[in-house]
Amino acid sequence: MQLISADNPFSPSLAVCRDVALCLLVLLGWGQPLPIQASESALDTAYGQLQRGEYAESRERFQQLLADAEFTGELRVRAAIGLSRVEAETGRWEEAIEVIESALESERNSSRLWSRLAELHFETGESTRAAREVQRALDLDSQNLHARLIRAHLDVERGAIDEALDGYRFFVRHYNRAQPDDWETLMIIGEGAAQYARWESVSPIFRFLVNTLCPDALKDNPHCWQAAVLSGTLLLEKYNQGQALPEFEQALKINPHCVPALVAMGEAALQDQKLTVAESFADKALETNPRFVPALLLKADVQLMAGNDGQALKQMQAALEVNGRDQRILARLAVIELFSAGLPEPESLRQWIDDPENAPAVGGLAATSFGELRQRNPRPGPFYAILGEFLDARRKYDHAEVCYRAAIDVMPQLSAPKTSLGMLCMRTGRIEEAETILDDAFQADPFHVRVSNMRKVIGVLKSYETIETEHFVLRVDGSEMVLGRQMADYLESIYPELTARYGYEPPTRTQFEIYSDAKGQSGHAWFSARMVGLPWIQTIGASTGVIVALASPTKTDRPYNWARVLRHEFVHVLTLQKTRFNIPHWFTEAISVTEEGQLMPESWQEMLLERVPAGKVFSLTSLNDGFQKPASPSDWSMAYCQSKLYADLMLNRFGEDALVRLLDAYVETPDDEAAFQRAFSVPLEEFEAEYTRFLHQQIEEIARGRRPLPVLLDAAKERVEAEPENPAALADLGFALLRSGQRREAAERIDRALELKPTQSLACALRARRLALDEDLEGAFQLLQRGFEDETPHPLLLELLARDAVRREEFALAETVLDQALERFPLETEFVRLKIAVAEGLNHPDEQIVPYLKRLARREYDDAPSRKRLARVAAAGGDDAEAVIWAREALSIDPLDAGMLRILAEAERRSRNLPAAVGAFELIVQLEDATDDDRYALAGLYKRSGRTAEARRQLNAILEHNPNHRPARTMLRLLDQGL
């Protein structure tokens, strides 16, 4: 089953539906046959340049033609429309209008000029004038298709949806009757028909437009980028990027300055949360047309998604200057005003939408142009739908639902708010409601990729088993019950502590969904589809603040510590819900990462060592960008790491309840500055300054514990120039040259260093590595030993020598090397690993190995072997409490390890924790490697707990295939005797 990309939804094999029409807005002239004149070819040339985006050349040619007073009639009309397109497509709206107005002076009776003027006024928010002009155009020529299209658009804007629908349907009928084949007519029909198909959910029309009409337009004029943009847009609306993007690329091949295509590609990036990419497309579009409303809105959306409302407002003001009545702009404005004035209760929002005259004023909205919008348009569906989308994106689910429902109410024709409402129900765990809504949406639009994927997710989810506990509901595949049970127990075990710490309990049980492989798709793909309805997200677990989903740890490429992920995500649920989603992204992550209770992983240390000195550091104000629009994977990790360090500093500085205090402050205010004042009585600025010092302290500490970063090539060269006979400098240069692939040059420096000082440790290490590659293992080992005599041997030498000594089982030597290495570089886990191997080789007693195992486990949260070893050591030493801890830790990475479950069960039994022991044995007997001894032990525990029927069942199961199992027979007899 195809989950990800609904490949080829517009299958060409489907019967072509001829019941169609459409029209891309735009700015086209359209054609009746022209008288053949000499200037016609000049006009064609100008149009060719216009279509290719050669705006300057095209403008000049049109102007020349229009300057010729002899140039009249249809040709003049066509030239004026062409020139007005040049102006409009480069953002010169006033000039575009002027061109048409001046052409109208001599061509008063051109229906086409009037409808073009109407279009320009419509695009710039002058609907009243546009309506008059359209009427004029239609009075002159009732069959002017372009005028009809603009009239339908104007009907939408005054809330006359039924008239608009009739208007759009006309294009379908007209096409069927007239079967036009010139590109300009086809594009007008295409736009009208597309709108009809959207509203009436006529999939065959979509197919027809994409498969027939657009290709026909391109056949008529290979420079008709409008056709590629139209089919790309239709595909993108269904989240079918796989097919949409090539269409936009084709448009850009025709016209490299094709602004609508650039914006559409930016919108596609935005669908994938690639904010930086989206923004760069918007910028590129604005270079050609700085006053293109969709481009300005795309740029605003990027800012809105990143929570930078002030920046967004700037873009929107520019858009408002072009068109003060555009619902798309007004809706975004309303988002900003709602948040800046403090979001009202969802109920007040609903009342206000229902009856803006009589409902109590809602924050800043009273001041927006919303009232005016409602006056001229009682059915502003797109306004409500877009408002809903942004509230949804900011996790104001209840508010978003109010808006979606309002949109559906006034314009049931719109499919987007229905789809969005279905997705919202999924996010808030209302699966049944989601299913009904999405089934309807699917009926209406079977090619919508997100809808189709989400319905498949629901299908998978419905096939899952449910594990219910007091505070949680887990949904897992039937084959993963052993894992699901452990997860449920773990979640209940952390619930009291976490809810007490954060002073919050969710009102309903929290649902956790664990996705396994199914129907040819990986667990991760299902998880990802569940969270975003689309392909691929980077994490393995995620929370909407209401539900949590994760890819099953038994199904991911590498096992991961699921307990850590569950804890992290459940803490999100608590902090998001407690603040009613008013917590900044960085802070909810800061708390969740802190709760994981791990030491900083090596990769983060290295990232800090590289980024802090280079100044590539976020501040509290830019930190959210690291999550929402990371420019690189490193940005993304850095945002987590810095959030954690902010939390560390708060805990150091303000005490162990610091995070809770700040959390409580965010319950009261969404503003960072105000929240800091409230929680800590410290100005944010002061705290930031302290944080900068703290960061530098951190990297100093890390630098002391880690091996130094290798010297960079330029620095190494400089030093050798200054001290050409310094062996250490020569070795550093050799190393740098090697890393940049210059082997021969490197070898020269290394040889020279060794001539000057035979024990130069880095040079010895590098030369030894080369010998080892040439299979001179003996020579390499001797060289490494020689380098160890250097006064402070280089860490590379220590590592190579330790490894080699372990390989040769010369453990005593290895231990000497590693003791020195760990003394100097205590944070290098590789040395810890080697040290453990050496201690094992030397048969050191367990208590000498344990501290190193713990060091490794604390640093590497996904490392199962160290934890298993610790559990075994504890069990063997009779330390049951310790054995329970480490067995559970091991199982949280490898939940199906029967050996670990046994250690856990036995330790719990010895600690007289009967229910826990029973629980563990119950898991073991579900595994394939369960033995009769396991069953017998479980039966004994059942017997002790008075669960005789269950005890009998286990004993009978043993005797069924092993009738000679004497202890089982004896126990069964005792049970029979009631003993």
Site residues (CB under 5 A) for Zn ion?
589, 592
Shortest distance in whole angstroms from residue 506 CB to Zn ion: 17
C-alpha separations of 106 from 38, 71, 581 in Å: 21, 11, 61
Measured distance CA(632)–CA(636) in Å, rounded: 7
Yes or no: say if 335 and 391 are a contact pair by the CB < 8 Å rule: yes
The tokens describing 407, both together, are 């949109």
Spatial CB neighbours of 336, under 8 Å, sequence gap ≥ 6: 304, 309, 312, 313, 316
Shortest distance in whole angstroms from residue 647 CB to Zn ion: 13
Calculate helix-pair angle for 633-654, 602-611, nearest 10 degrees: 100
Shortest distance in whole angstroms from residue 354 CB to Zn ion: 37
Per-residue 3-state assignment (H helix, E strand, C coil) for 518-549: ECCECHHHHHHHHHHCCCCCCCCEEECCCEEE
The tokens describing 261, both together, are 């295509």
- Identify the three-state secondary structure at position 9: coil
| DSSP strands (E only) in 448-532 | 465-468, 472-476, 510-515
Which phi and psi angles does 315 have, rounded to 5°? -60, -40
C-alpha separations of 234 from 197, 252, 478, 508, 696 in Å: 10, 17, 40, 40, 52
* 589 vs 595 by CB, closer to Zn ion: 589
* 110 vs 594 by CB, closer to Zn ion: 594
Amino acid identity for residue 751 in this structure? D
* 512 vs 680 by CB, closer to Zn ion: 512
| Of 566, 583, 556, residue with least CA distance to 647 | 583
* 93 vs 586 by CB, closer to Zn ion: 586
Q: What share of the chain is helix, strand, coil (3-state, %, to 5)?
A: 70, 5, 30
* 84 vs 592 by CB, closer to Zn ion: 592
Q: Could you give the residue ranges of the DSSP H alpha helices within 179-224?
A: 183-200, 203-208, 214-220
* 589 vs 790 by CB, closer to Zn ion: 589
Q: What angle do CA 71, 72, 74 make, to 5 degrees?
A: 120
* 440 vs 862 by CB, closer to Zn ion: 862
Measured distance CA(332)–CA(330) in Å, rounded: 5
Shortest distance in whole angstroms from residue 362 CB to Zn ion: 32
Measured distance CA(251)–CA(578) in Å, rounded: 48
Identify the residue whose tokens are 């060794």. 754
Q: How many CB atoms lie within 10 A of CB 773?
A: 9
Shortest distance in whole angstroms from residue 463 CB to Zn ion: 28
* 126 vs 513 by CB, closer to Zn ion: 513
* 410 vs 593 by CB, closer to Zn ion: 593
- Cα 215 to its chain centre, rounded Å, is 34
* 516 vs 592 by CB, closer to Zn ion: 592
* 133 vs 589 by CB, closer to Zn ion: 589
* 20 vs 590 by CB, closer to Zn ion: 590
Amino acid identity for residue 811 in this structure? F
Spatial CB neighbours of 799, under 8 Å, sequence gap ≥ 6: 821, 830, 831, 834
Q: What angle do CA 542, 547, 548 make, to 5 degrees?
A: 35
* 592 vs 642 by CB, closer to Zn ion: 592
Yes or no: say if 593 and 564 are a contact pair by the CB < 8 Å rule: no
**Which region holds residue 533: left if phi is over 0, alpha if psi is between -120 and 50, else beta?**
left
Measured distance CA(99)–CA(93) in Å, rounded: 10
**Which region holds residue 693: left if phi is over 0, alpha if psi is between -120 and 50, else beta?**
alpha
* 87 vs 589 by CB, closer to Zn ion: 589
**Which region holds residue 741: left if phi is over 0, alpha if psi is between -120 and 50, else beta?**
left
* 429 vs 541 by CB, closer to Zn ion: 541
- Identify the three-state secondary structure at position 669: coil
Yes or no: say if 334 and 365 are a contact pair by the CB < 8 Å rule: yes
Element (H, E) at 140: helix 127-140
Element (H, E) at 803: helix 795-807
Yes or no: say if 312 and 390 are a contact pair by the CB < 8 Å rule: no
The tokens describing 30, both together, are 């359209």
* 539 vs 948 by CB, closer to Zn ion: 539
Shortest distance in whole angstroms from residue 640 CB to Zn ion: 8
